[in-house]
Structure 1
Amino acid sequence: MILKKLCRASKRSIMGIMALAAVSSMVISGCGSNKGTVSETSTQAQPQSAAAENNEGSAQEQKVMKLAATLMPDTSPIKCLTDMSVKLKDETQGAVDIQIFPASQLGGQRDFVEGVSMGTVEMCIVGVGALESFEPRFSIYGMPFLFEDNDHLYKFYDSDINQKILQDFCDQKGMRVIGLFNEGFRTVWTKEKPVESLADFKGLKLRVPEVPIFVDMFTTLGCNATPLPAGDVYTALQTGMIEGVELPVSSIVGGKINEVVKYETVTNHVSGAMVVLINEGYYQSLTGEQQQMLLAAVKEASDADRANMVTDTEKYEKVIAESGIQQIIPSEEMMAQFREAMNGVSEKYFKDVIDQETIDQIRAMAE
């Protein structure tokens, strides 16, 4: 009789352990269990995971997040995100505190993405090209001459094509894109000699981001393409390590690079798409209400960045003119040669990543 009671007690214990294990497996679930939209356009609350529900009772626990960036403090994305952090901390009564670290204080973009992946950095804002090694489809953003202007880029941000990429990235890599920003289209800046034809690229020591497609783009043009972190550009130009750089005007003025270059060739070869990433495990540790407030705050900051793109560009162009930089508008012939030279790069990077039908759909968004 005693033996039967012990057996029944053991069975109850085992069943209890199995139930606890089932609950635990729900708590640690991440992107794969959350199929909500991950774009900056979503202001509705994401479906709460078990982790978030389990954390409702500790809503007053302070969440301190580092947001790393290479951008300078006076660039639009950083100003908008800084305003956002102040407002969000106030609205949550100090429960959510996002601390912004601009100007490469915490390293380069590759460091940031790896940090968010491992959870050593909670958040970052990086150029989309920095994500290509994690998800090849992000290289679409860096396809030369794919996007005609900022409005075209914003339509792609909100498209089903992009939303699918973002959701798959979250599910597979444990990093959630919660905002899409715009640094502006990239142009070519040189220190000594102007780039007025395709031949002028030959032998030019040009700094490019630490992203393979950028290296190949300008190597194809005959440049000595030199990958460097953004924080090293000013000194590298001063010392002669590089002779030029390709960056949007916001980064030129923000990094005071206008002090050490003399020429701008307006190529607008690649968009300046940037993403705000958060570690998915950390995101799931927020309460449902905190998640909703964070998404809404980043959406507001992104909208402000879009508005700033118009007024800030005018301001930056004035600074460039006052710096005495000579602006070169390429001829139609040069741009045609430029586009043709990039076709080989596009073929190399995109033939196995994106089909022609999808490319045509993206181009059609400009209409």
Structure 2
Amino acid sequence: MLKMQFKLFTLVLVLMMLVVVGCGTSTKTQPNSDTKAQDQNQNSDKIVLKLAHDQQPNQGYGIGVNKMVQEVKDKTNGKVEIQVFDRGVLGNERDVVEGLKMGTIDMAIITAGTLTNFEPKMAAINMPFIFRDWDHVNKALEGPIANEVFPAIESKQKIKPLAVYALGFRNIATTKKEIKSVDDLKGLKIRVPQAPVFLSTFKALGANPTPMAWGELYTSLQTNVVDGFENSAQVMDQFKMYEVTKYLTITNHIWEGGVVLISDKAWEKLTPEFQQVLQNAAQESAKYQRDQVKAQDEDMIKSLKDKGMKVTQIPREQLEKVAKPVYDELGKQYGIESLIKEIQGL
């Protein structure tokens, strides 16, 4: 009997020790679980915004983007991070705008020409010969464009414009024919963006405007699908278009820029303080980027000449006269007659 009681006592003692050890292990691991949860909470405080554009990382838009990304990081102590997807890896501009509207893309830089398809007032930026020079551009962007066009985009499209980066004044590059006058443009197939202002402008100039995705252009010039294209000297040099074109004609027919946009969904993730930081960073980086593009314009034209392109120029007066009907046609169509006059009067 005593022997059985001793065995029972021993069994109870062993079970108690196992319970104590088990409880001790549970108590010991609990702080580690709490620490892990705290780390996860800290990581979730960080807001990551994905920004898409189709330029090179250190040229064009990239000049401003790099500055904006760093400023946002510094001013938010790393709590807001902008991840950049450049060179068009997230799709063409129209697809990216749709992504912004749906909230699947946080931020993007989209040309005014493409945005005209979503907000007609944006056509004012691209009207032929509307800007006299770079100072005039800056006055318009910080005045009528910011005050009238930006609110229209935001209210209709659920995307918020923050600032405008520059691509610069656009010129014409051709493969086989040198352009010395407006008459030389007649019948030429010139690649243009899928935007009414560009189509109407080149129809008025007597050319055959041919909309085409930018990614298809290089090969299309090689295979004579088109006779030429129009864009800024910056872009021509950046994408090595001098390899497939021989002639550069200075026309400065249209100034083009890219609007820095953020989806409403992404904007609402930010506190008011961080919204202000992003707004300021976008505007300050845009001014810096436009100044850089302006300073580089002449250098880029010289660079293209050094790389083998023959450079000519058509007098502005000759071009303005031919393109004047575009104002009558599109000004009325888009309801921007007063906006055009306001910009011209600055």
SS at match of 1:73: coil
Q: How far apart in 1 are the matches of 2:196 and 2:98?
A: 17
**Partner in structure 1 of residue 34 of structure 2:** none
Corresponding position of 2:332: 351
Report deviation, 1:178. 0.7
Structure 2 unaligned regions, length at least 5: 1-40
- Answering whether residue 205 of structure 2 is matched by residue 221 of structure 1, we say yes
Give the counterpart of 2:129 among 124, 145, 150: 145
Q: Secondary structure at the match of 2:117?
A: coil
Normalised by the length of structure 1, the TM-score is 0.78
User: 1:340 — aligned with what?
Assistant: 321
Contact 1:184 1:272 in 2 (8 A): yes
Counterparts in 2 of 1:197-346, with a 5 A limit?
Answer: 197-331=181-315, 335-346=316-327
Aligned-pair CA distance for 1:161 = 5.7
Structure 1 CA distance, aligned partners of 2:263 and 2:279?
14
Q: Residues 190, 108 of structure 1: CA spacing in aligned structure 2 closer, same or farther, 3 A cutoff?
A: same
The CA deviation at 1:90 is 4.3
C-alpha distance after superposition, 1:315-365 (max 9, x if no partner): 31231121121111214xxx4443233222222211143454443331121
How far the C-alpha of 1:286 sits from its partner, in A, is 0.8
Q: CA deviation at 1:189?
A: 0.7
C-alpha distance in structure 2 between counterparts of 1:208 and 1:147, whole Å: 20
CA distance in 2, matches of 1:230, 1:150: 25
Taking a change above 3 Å as real, the CA distance of residues 358 and 297 of structure 1, as seen in their structure-2 partners, is closer
RMSD over equivalenced CA pairs, Å: 2.1
Residue pair 1:184, 1:250 contacting (<8 A) in 2 also = yes
CA separation of 1:300 and 1:226: change in aligned 2, threshold 3 A: same
Distance 2:42 2:119 in 1: 34
Question: Structure 1 pair 357/132, CA: closer, same or farther in 2 (3 Å)?
Answer: closer
- Which deviations, in whole Å up to 9, do the C-alpha atoms of 1:29-81 show, x marking residues without a partner? xxxxxxxxxxxxxxxxxxxxxxxxxxxx9996222222111222332321220
The secondary structure found in structure 1 opposite 2:51 is strand
Deviation at 1:82, TM superposition (A): 2.2
- Partners of 2:54 and 2:246 in 1: CA distance: 23
Whose Rg is larger?
Answer: 2
Aligned partner of residue 265 in structure 1, secondary structure: strand
User: Using a 3 Å threshold, how does the CA distance of structure 1 residues 252 and 364 change in structure 2: closer, same or farther?
Assistant: same
Q: In 2, Cα distance between the equivalents of 1:192 and 1:64?
A: 47
Judge conservation of contact 2:49–2:266 (CA < 8 Å) in 1.
Answer: no
Residue 24 of structure 1 corresponds to none
Gap change, CA 1:213 and 1:131, over 3 Å in 2:
same
Judged with a 3 Å threshold, the aligned counterparts in structure 2 of structure 1 residues 344 and 167 are, in CA distance, closer, same or farther, namely same
| 3-state SS of 1:117 partner | helix
Cα shift at 1:273 = 2.3
* 1:221–1:317 Cα change, 3 Å: closer
Q: Structure 1: which 5+ runs fail to align?
A: 1-56
C-alpha distance in structure 2 between counterparts of 1:360 and 1:179, whole Å: 22
C-alpha distance after superposition, 1:240-263 (max 9, x if no partner): 222211000110011111222111
Following superposition, the deviation at residue 299 of structure 1 comes to 1.9
Q: Deviations over 1:151-200 (max 9, x none)?
A: 10110111146412211321222110011111100011111111112221
**Distance 1:141-1:196 versus aligned 2 partners, 3 A rule:** same
1:158 to 142, 149, 166: 142
Percent of counterpart pairs with the same letter?
A: 33
Instruction: Determine the C-alpha separation between the residues in 1 that align with 2:272 and 2:336.
Output: 38
Please give the per-residue CA displacement for 1:275-313, whole angstroms capped at 9, x wherever unaligned.
101101210111112111111211221121122123322
**Which structure dedicates a bigger proportion of its chain to helix?**
2
Kindly tell me the number of residue pairs found equivalent between the two proteins. Answer: 306
